[in-house]
Structure 1
């Protein structure tokens, strides 16, 4: 059975972290994998802060040359300017273009075949497999037995397969600018989104926001808060913007032999808008499902969904809290018994982290009424 499976062609659309990591996992086991990327360079354009929790080291440790910074402290700030200073397990800031490229190189070394500047456009059934229509140089039609959509929040694969659904988005906007700092992450909790400052080194940082509504207004307001009257000049410095899918508990991730990964499957934390770790965990679940013949949906629900759903619940709570309640929440996060939980647990494991925090500080149970 395994030998027969390895004769099948597996196609990945999108060469981001989840797509590349999945290609690596299957290629390493001897499967035939082809990866299509619409851009001419892997990892470009960059539309990501590059902040990843220590959980990444269990999955695929980034090469040293991809790491820009290491951070162990954070400030969580409420709209009322209440602050909680917490210590974290080591977070890293990566050069996303270099990180994505390193994953693709690992996959290629194991035999995955890459096609750049090739855009996926249409999918048609062909016997038990599919014909994929591409736009790019050279061949325009490819046959595949499995199709993996790792093609971002507006996933064409999801649309072609009827799995796109009624998804919603945050709009993320970010600059990279000179900014003297003490190597602490800043998370500003707000209704409808989040603002952040992520240091790259002592003299520069990535500063941005992600909101469901009025993102440009929130972006300019945050820059004004950070830089004062100079914010207009700063607003154009190495600015990037993009859509971030809002995690949907009802998102379908497989249909026949078509599967969704990463942003294409809305596998993004609703608290910090990070999707690298959950997307790569989902790649592990899908890889195991194809090798073992089990359901990807079941493996995804067991391995990835609980922490994404917990983040979704936390986001819902924040969105339904009054400003005074957010102040109170941040005050509790600054208490030692909660800070100890934050230090001991990965923020990518939101379900156990949240349960332990409530066990240590029962006052947090108050916020469950906002679900």
Structure 2
């Protein structure tokens, strides 16, 4: 029996892959409804198509254009490989229904409280909404339970973690086909069109997120903000341990989040694929993850370090350089999830970009 704690995209996709291959799977979700509460833009790159075939009814918008702004307002316009804006609540529910049809058992409103070891098995302690306790036996445990993963803590592999605070709300917005990002030290701001005269406007920062969100949304007017939400987003840690003694971590529980745009759906689900394969392979989860998922996550981390160590004037210069017509042609059509490929293509066309790599090691002495 494989117990998965958490029914987000990573947990449910893993449950589906394992169940369809004959494994007995139980999924425990703390909330009473899969996909709620929603605290994500639902924006994914076209790479999601390599993992699952998303039904059109779950897609709110399709976007190819992006505008990226520097602190002073310099602008880079590029055409992306197709991005999808998903209805996150319905997407999560669809993944869980697929897993259940494949044979996975779901227990909603069930909170993980810890375990006792019984030989090679785990006796999992669970609590329902009425406070009643239950015990479930499992041979393996997977933590897909978010950035504050209780499974990681119980297994002793939580490690040292830090987080971004993300806040977003629905706002009036008529532009349907263009994502907007603002580059800033210590975080990012965005507008993601939903395609129905509304958009998700949000910020994610290590510090001062509430203040920055208030400033960012001032132009929309407080009365126009709807469905605001807040969440913690883990900072990607390349040293994060992913497994120990038949316990595994996946998704936000493992910090598998792009440090550039802070998206975690695609890397988390990719990691779930590699974990599922490890159960039928001589190659374990960690080496598979390091070969297939880690490189792009690490390249995103390097880009984030450069951005955070640049002064505002350097960020202006970076956006201005990337906005050259010949470089825009190189960047057009590249997936946001392929940061390593994107960076190498840009540097091959403009070697001066190598100069920004010094910001991997030295923070600018200029004022922000």
Task: Look up the SS of the partner of 1:55 in the other structure.
Answer: helix
Corresponding residue for residue 366 of structure 2: none
Corresponding residue for residue 338 of structure 1: 327
1:133 aligned to which of 122, 125, 132? 125
1:1-371 correspondence to structure 2 within 5 Å: 9-136=1-128, 140-201=134-195, 203-224=197-218, 226-227=219-220, 230=221, 232-235=222-225, 237-371=226-360
Task: Look up the SS of the partner of 1:337 in the other structure.
Answer: helix
Shift of 1:361: 1.8
Scaled by the length of structure 2, the TM-score of the pair is 0.95
| Alignment size in residue pairs | 358
Shift of 1:293: 3.6
Corresponding residue for residue 364 of structure 2: none
CA deviations 1:20-63 (Å, max 9, x no partner) are 00011111111111100011110000000010000001111211
Q: Using the alignment, how far apart are the partners of 1:88 and 1:271 within structure 2?
A: 15
Corresponding residue for residue 365 of structure 2: none
Q: Using the alignment, how far apart are the partners of 1:39 and 1:341 within structure 2?
A: 44
Q: Using the alignment, how far apart are the partners of 1:127 and 1:53 within structure 2?
A: 43
Shift of 1:234: 3.6
Q: Using the alignment, how far apart are the partners of 1:261 and 1:341 within structure 2?
A: 33
Scaled by the length of structure 1, the TM-score of the pair is 0.94
CA RMSD in angstroms, aligned pairs only:
1.2
Shift of 1:351: 1.3
Task: Look up the SS of the partner of 1:47 in the other structure.
Answer: coil
CA contact (8 A) 2:176 2:197 kept: no
Shift of 1:146: 0.6
Q: Using the alignment, how far apart are the partners of 2:83 and 2:61 within structure 1?
A: 8
CA deviations 1:77-117 (Å, max 9, x no partner) are 01110001110111010000100111111111110010000
Q: Using the alignment, how far apart are the partners of 1:271 and 1:192 within structure 2?
A: 10
CA contact (8 A) 1:337 1:361 kept: no
Q: Which runs of 5 or more structure 2 residues have no equivalent in the other structure? A: 361-368
Moved segments of 4+, more than 3 Å? none
Q: Which runs of 5 or more structure 1 residues have no equivalent in the other structure? A: 1-8
Task: Look up the SS of the partner of 1:288 in the other structure.
Answer: helix
